[in-house]
Amino acid sequence: MTGLIHADPLPYCSGCGHSRLHHLLAEVLASLGYTAERLWGVHGGGCSELIGDVLTFPWNAAPPGLALALATGIKRAAPDKLVLTYQGDGDLAGRGLDALMHAALRGENLTVLCLNNLVMAGSGGQMSATTVTGQVTRTSRLGRSSTQSGKPLRLTELVARLPNVAFAQRVSLHSFEHIERARTALKDAFLYQENGQGLSFVEVMGACPPYWGLTPLEARDKLGNELLRTHPPGIYKRVTMIR
């Protein structure tokens, strides 16, 4: 493992998407030759806040939903740093949606990462803005109703429509093939920032076995076979990269 991640066991539930993404992120950053001195992270609340105890470069904790607002100030004050935000769907698609939209509209030169496990796991497993229709959560006991709660928010498609976004891709962590696609997407996202081309956004679909009421293997299969129908992986925006 690289020097960007602590050797201690990661503080997540078995099968959690955060754990897999942390390892992948550390590998990608090391492969690009980035050191802890070059990097600066901002995390949201909930399960995402544990990333500051896992990766070894500096992290700031943002108030609920405001990771992108804080990251904007850091990047403008220290433009030589590679600044990333790390949030779950509850923090980013709910309380943080306005900060995301305005950062994208301004074309802030940031890398935005969202681990979307379709529930608000950090506060007890409630329905989030991205929860799929029919999905059972602590606050949708009979399954999400599109009539009562609207249809699930598709974050990557929304971000991709804004003019100053350089890169927007949704990836998944349910299979080796998709993990390799996620690796490429993360590399591209940081290269776009290094080139100063605008905001780059990667939505990573991951599992939350405890709040899905499934075993880790069942959750992996449910993600790949069912939930990605609503949130399909793909590149939704990609401007020409400066080489």
Q: Is the predicted pLDDT of residue 1 greater than 70, yes or no?
A: no
Residue 97, token pair as written in the block:
């949606």
Digit-coded pLDDT (tens) for 26-66: 999 999 999 999 999 999 998 999 998 899 999 999 999 99
- Average the pLDDT over 95-108 and give the result: 96
**Domains annotated on the chain, with CATH:** 17-238 (3.40.50.970)
Determine how many CB atoms are found less than 10 A away from the CB of residue 145: 12
What single letter denotes the amino acid at residue 175?
S
- Give the model's confidence band at 129: pLDDT under 50 very low, under 70 low, under 90 confident, else very high: very high
Q: How far is CA 194 from CA 33, 210, 238, in A?
A: 12, 37, 15
pLDDT for residue 122: 81
What single letter denotes the amino acid at residue 41?
G
User: Contact at 8 Å (CB) between 195 and 118?
Assistant: no
Q: Is the predicted pLDDT of residue 2 greater than 70, yes or no?
A: no
pLDDT for residue 28: 97
